[in-house]
Structure 1
Amino acid sequence: MSQAGHWYAIENRKDKHCALATDLNALYQNGSFQQTLSLPDQIGKGYWQKTSLNTMLEIMVCDIVLHEELSMSSTEQDDWMKICFCLGEGMQWLSTDTHRDYGIASGEVTAFGRAMTSSTCQFDPARRFHSLTLKLDVNRLMQAWPVASLEQQWARLTAHDSLYDNKKMTPLVRRILHEMLDCPYQAAVRRMYLEGKVLELLAVYIDEILREKDTLPREVTLSKTDLTSLWQAKQIVDANLLSPPSLAELSRQICLNEYKLKKGFKQLFGLPVHAYVIDQRLEQSRRLLEEGSVNVTYAASMAGFNNLGQFAEKFRKKYGVNPSAYLKSRGFRTV
């Protein structure tokens, strides 16, 4: 038990005595305000960080890159809602509750919550898995802030046919997430700041649910074979962002007709293929700017943007800030 009403179990599928799994279990069970687990150098680089803000709010941040493939299973038992924001590359996992495959694409948010959630996830090497997950005690939150839409969303997620609920992140959500990750404060002030940001993020999330309530797109039925083909399409596109194949060529390579490719890709990854390419190029440019080793013009060029004005417009729309301002906020020169 990590806290009253919480139970977590993480296991390496290939190594029952995995030290990393043991450390992750210890992290989940830790009840202190903030605890960080750094990934051992021989496994990869990055960290997990758990922040317990109060009795009804937790934050879990994961930012890792592995040297080798890793397959982990996890079981969570509690009555909390989880909202996961995918800031790195997309992920796919198998739910052992429903025996179905699920996924979350880069730039998506997924919400879930059941008394027992069991899943298996494979982490591929040389990919950045970066996410921030909110864990909310909905019953206590509803007592403090009786918001009907939050209660309705919780009811949907606890239904057997609504295990996960994926949506695309907006620029406002991204801005709040980056402010949380870049929190400059420590100790009690840090706790106060993050509590405020979590509530702001939750308010924006609820508002966006209400806005899209009556405009949800009709989904196409996808088989397990279709899902495999679509993930293969994503891998092909990811490997060729500067010169991606046409829809016809991509359809031929993955043996899936163009209709299912177009509809299924958007359904699974949140964007049409072309928009996904632009989105990933922007993320590539943001990473270059975050490293501080290049200027805005070079970052735009390396990500495949020849028009600097168009690049700045798309960057601002995605991240809520101009690329030059983003670079400056990291303490680097913009020239």
Structure 2
Amino acid sequence: MRAGFEGSDRVTRERAGAWYNVGMEAMRLDGSERDLEEFSLRVLQSAAPIETPSPFERRMRWDVRGNTGLISASTLRSGISLAAVRCRWERAAGMVVDHAPMRLEFVLSRGPRMRMTSSAGDSYLLGGGTFQIGQVKEPLRLVCAWDASTLGQDQDNICLTIDGRRLRELLGSQVLPAPLERIVAHPGAYPRAAQAMSPALHRLLDEILGCSARGTSRQLYLEAKGLELMAAMVDQLEESEGAASPLLTQHDVARLERARHILLACMVDPPTLPELARRAGLNEVKLKAGFRALFGTSVFAYLRNHRLDEAHRLLRQRACNVTEVAQRVGYENPSKFAAAFRKRFGVSPSTVG
């Protein structure tokens, strides 16, 4: 895969987050140390350190002029390549990707929508809590563009790639599930399948992006989650084959994503349900029912879990004491925080870290 930020007809070399043109020089984004270095220097125009949490993973974080992000690329023993990205841009941006022929690709994308246009003439949106599948058999150029409405919001993406033969071995079958067989036989437009992510996929995306395991346990964790995610995506594909029209439209999903973003941005002082519904462009009934359908839990249960997960992360980092952590995630009463923490994690917050 060759990638670079590119402008219109003239070559521009502006700061990170604006449009770029790196010509046709190869810059593969498959997660090797050299590739991440080139991404850092050409796209971010700033040297970002590359971490190696384990021999099978490369990871890079950046905070460059307000643009922040994390890339983690892992090669799993199951044969799955797993790439996880969380980024936030402060300027309208775009990227041109020369996509080489590849294996089956499963993409989860949550957050603001990005317009993708291929050299084959296809155009689609990536983001908004969608799950997409494709397979490129001929070289393809993708032009990706974020607009001003996406600025200041987290864009979460996970991409799994796997060879069809290896997937059949994992499934213990001579053939792939019917939806995948059709993609392999007739790859056509990219992507071939797109639908709203299920609650299970939202949960797995959070668990992979939020993985705090280290060393050998990290390798085991990502291996297990990569396989679980692949299984959940295959299950969703098969179940959707005979399903009726989905409960939520893409319009609903986009607004529920907006509600989730507002909720997490106001974690310490969250809006009421009526206020959240108004700000997201939904009525309160649709907000409550749709949030549960899309994310698998109620609005404030989702917020509570996010607060506690963030508290656990802070305690692991030893950034603050228990009382300070409780306040930072929105708990005024340390005793209530400790009780909620024990209920979720089975241990007292004072024992973490």
Q: 1:201 aligns with which of 203, 214, 225?
A: 225
Contact 1:173/1:204 (<8 A) preserved? no
Of stretches 260-269 and 51-60 in structure 1, the one that deviates more from structure 2 is 51-60
Q: 1:282 to 1:25 in 2, by over 3 A?
A: farther
Contact 1:157/1:163 (<8 A) preserved? no
Of stretches 280-289 and 20-29 in structure 1, the one that deviates more from structure 2 is 20-29
By how many angstroms is 1:10 displaced? 4.7
Contact 1:12/1:71 (<8 A) preserved? yes
By how many angstroms is 1:303 displaced? 1.2
Q: 1:214 to 1:297 in 2, by over 3 A?
A: farther
Matches of 1:241 and 1:235, distance apart in 2 = 10
Q: Which residue of 2 aligns with 1:166?
A: 197
Q: 1:78 to 1:293 in 2, by over 3 A?
A: same
**Mapped pair 1:295 → 2:326:** no
CA RMSD of aligned residues (A): 4.9
Matches of 1:68 and 1:271, distance apart in 2 = 33
Matches of 2:133 and 2:171, distance apart in 1 = 20
**Mapped pair 1:250 → 2:302:** no
Q: Which residue of 2 aligns with 1:94?
A: 115
Q: 1:120 aligns with which of 135, 141, 144?
A: 144
Matches of 1:207 and 1:214, distance apart in 2 = 12
Secondary structure in 2 matching 1:163: strand
By how many angstroms is 1:83 displaced? 4.2
Q: Which residue of 1 aligns with 2:246?
A: 219
Q: 2:172 aligns with which of 147, 161, 169?
A: 147
By how many angstroms is 1:64 displaced? 4.3
- Normalised by the length of structure 2, the TM-score is 0.60
Secondary structure in 2 matching 1:313: helix
Contact 1:96/1:120 (<8 A) preserved? yes
Secondary structure in 1 matching 2:81: strand
By how many angstroms is 1:103 displaced? 2.8
By how many angstroms is 1:294 displaced? 0.8
Read off the aligned partner of 1:166 and give its amino acid letter.
M
By how many angstroms is 1:114 displaced? 3.1
Q: Which residue of 2 aligns with 1:280?
A: 306
Matches of 1:156 and 1:283, distance apart in 2 = 40
Secondary structure in 2 matching 1:241: coil
Matches of 1:24 and 1:274, distance apart in 2 = 48
Gaps of 5+ in 1: 1-6, 329-335
Contact 1:237/1:245 (<8 A) preserved? yes
Q: 1:310 aligns with which of 340, 343, 350?
A: 340
By how many angstroms is 1:135 displaced? 2.0
Contact 1:265/1:273 (<8 A) preserved? yes
Matches of 1:233 and 1:174, distance apart in 2 = 17
Q: Which residue of 2 aligns with 1:72?
A: 95
Percent identity reads: 20
Equivalences for residues 226-245 of structure 1 within 5 A = 226=252, 229-245=255-271
Matches of 2:204 and 2:143, distance apart in 1 = 30
By how many angstroms is 1:293 displaced? 1.4
Matches of 1:265 and 1:16, distance apart in 2 = 44
Secondary structure in 1 matching 2:144: strand
Matches of 1:303 and 1:45, distance apart in 2 = 21
By how many angstroms is 1:136 displaced? 1.5
Secondary structure in 2 matching 1:36: helix
Read off the aligned partner of 2:172 and give its amino acid letter.
V
By how many angstroms is 1:309 displaced? 1.7
Q: 1:241 to 1:31 in 2, by over 3 A?
A: closer
Matches of 1:254 and 1:178, distance apart in 2 = 25
By how many angstroms is 1:290 displaced? 4.7
- Normalised by the length of structure 1, the TM-score is 0.63
Q: Which residue of 2 aligns with 1:81?
A: 104
Q: Deviations over 1:61-97 (max 9, x none)?
A: 43545454434354645342334567xx834333447
Gaps of 5+ in 2: 47-63
Aligned residues: 302
By how many angstroms is 1:231 displaced? 4.3
Matches of 1:24 and 1:267, distance apart in 2 = 44
